[in-house]
A and B are shown apart, each in its own frame.
Chain A
Amino acid sequence: MLDYFSDCWKYLPSLLGGLKLTLIIAVVGIALAIVLGILLCAFSISGIFVLEKIAGIYITVVRGIPLMILALFMYFGVIKNSLDLLPSAIIILAINASAYMAEIFRAGIQAIDFGQTEAARSLGLSYFQAMYKIILPQAFKIMIPSLMNQFISSLKDTAILSAISVNELTMTAKVIIARNYNAFELYSYAAIIYLIVIALLTYLSKRVERKLSYDKR
């Protein structure tokens, strides 16, 4: 058994290369998803019927489709050869995560008591001043655990993008297994690498959460 795992170091460089791509896709994808999610959230609380409908349909459709189908459809059906693999993977992840992000933002903002907005407006602050100075800072604090969850979830979802052969961590493991049939050990390595990264992220999010809490002062 020990013998079996003894050559793990041999694969480490290629696996870490895959991890690098996984992280790039996740970080850039989520960053884009946040921008898109903010826009969608602004649509859905705008009070303008058409914009609310657009956001509603987008969110329902994207959340209702498995990521695998979205990836295959987008890459082989829509993007075809017009973009490289990496940007394609990032865009696909961003589309998927943006729908969830939009819902997290909306829920966070709507969780803040409307009295906060009224108090701010009664003091003469504008809608945007009230949003920026009072509602969003409070909403953001509520959102952090959900945002972190979504990030972790999306990071794991990148494994599904091996369906379009982007060379992230799971795909790298698959390629090596295709050569040497060591499925047990290589998928174990991949799993352990995911686990370590996600454990670190979870720890980090707990710390951020604690730091931003004003309830304990």
Chain B
Amino acid sequence: MSAIIEALHIRKLFGDLEVLRDMSVTVEEGEVVCLIGPSGSGKSTFLRCLNRLENIQGGTIKVLGEDISAIKEVNRFRANIGMVFQHFNLFPNYSVLGNMTLAPVTLKKYRRQEAVKKAEELLLQVGLSDKRDVYPVTLSGGQKQRVAIARALEMNPKIMLFDEPTSALDPEMVGEVLDVMRKLAQQGMTMVVVTHEMGFARDVADRVIFMDNGYIVEEGTPRELFEHPRTERCQAFLSSVQ
């Protein structure tokens, strides 16, 4: 096992507001790390720094061995990292298949036929083979998010980032999305997940990080963190969500 993400002493400012202060996180290959904590604690911002959707003001982030601040071809770099958003962000002007094949075909990663074949395999995996040709507007929230996951996987990423993937879903659809993510974790994907689903974090994560106010307050295995939280803030948070 080797570190696939190595973030050291990250600082991130929005204007004068310091949202990340001295964050250090290392993620090993194949590891599933869940970030939990109250809203506004900087979890999502940290995630977005990892693929440079946000730029950092201090510290260094190494992903797949490269210092990402120094990367010139940011598009080539991003293609290796899948990202799943809270609000799905499917492209409404493309069919499900179009959503999935657009990036790999445009970036000439695969030829069209190969991209379609891979998309069909992935749709089978997420249980949406019959939705291949429909437009996103006809899908339910859970289906949209499963397509979004498949779309990210189509690029064959080495890392998957999930930004509150179930927060915008109706309760009865949360399960189907978490099942897909669970399967992905079992296949050995490196995953960083910002989530409010404590059950998922407990079952699937190798490590859980509790953040508050731009800091890492506590970090450990799910067992350590959920059953024996050491800090008061973490205890208070866990008792308020459970």
Which residues in A have some Cβ–Cβ distance to B below 8 Å?
113, 115-116, 118-126, 129, 133-134, 137-138, 141, 214-215, 217
Contact = CB atoms under 8 A, between A and B. Distances in A.
B152 interface: yes
A214 B92 CA distance: 8
B145 interface: no
Contacts of B53: 118, 121-122
Interface stretch (B4-12, B26-34, B102-110): B102-110
Interface of B: 51, 53, 75-76, 78-79, 81-83, 85, 87, 89-93, 102-103, 106-107, 134-135, 137-138, 148, 151-152, 155
26 contacts: A113-B87, A115-B85, A115-B87, A116-B89, A119-B83, A119-B89, A119-B90, A121-B53, A121-B75, A121-B78, A122-B51, A122-B78, A122-B83, A123-B152, A124-B75, A124-B107, A124-B155, A125-B75, A125-B106, A126-B75, A134-B93, A134-B102, A137-B93, A138-B92, A214-B137, A215-B137
B79 A123 contact: yes
Contacts of B134: 217
B78 A123 contact: yes
Contacts of B106: 125, 129, 133
A116 B155 CA distance: 17
Contacts of B92: 138, 214-215
Given A120-B91, A122-B53, A214-B137, 11 more contacts: A115-B89, A116-B91, A119-B148, A123-B151, A124-B155, A125-B75, A126-B75, A134-B91, A134-B102, A137-B93, A215-B137
B135 A217 contact: yes
Contacts of B91: 116, 119-120, 134
Contacts of A113: 87, 89
Nearest to B82: A122
A181 B129 CA distance: 74
A48 to B, nearest CB: 18
A129 to B, nearest CB: 6
Contacts of B148: 119
A113 B136 CA distance: 15
Q: Which 9 A-B pairs rank lowest in CB-CB distance, beginning with the nearest?
A: A124-B79, A119-B89, A123-B103, A122-B83, A115-B89, A124-B78, A124-B75, A137-B93, A126-B75
Contacts of B138: 217
A67 to B, nearest CB: 36
A214 B81 CA distance: 30
A129 B108 CA distance: 13
Contacts of B83: 119, 122
A111 B63 CA distance: 34
Nearest to A134: B91
A124 B82 CA distance: 9
A98 to B, nearest CB: 27
A115 to B, nearest CB: 4
B50 to A, nearest CB: 11
A152 B125 CA distance: 51
B76 A124 contact: yes
A104 B77 CA distance: 35
Which of A119, A120, A121 counts the most B-chain CB atoms under 10 A from its CB? Answer: A119
A124 B103 contact: yes
A120 B83 CA distance: 10
A175 B138 CA distance: 58
Contacts of A126: 75
Given A122-B81, A138-B92, A214 B135 contact: yes
A121 B148 CA distance: 14
B92 to A, nearest CB: 7
A51 to B, nearest CB: 22
B78 to A, nearest CB: 5
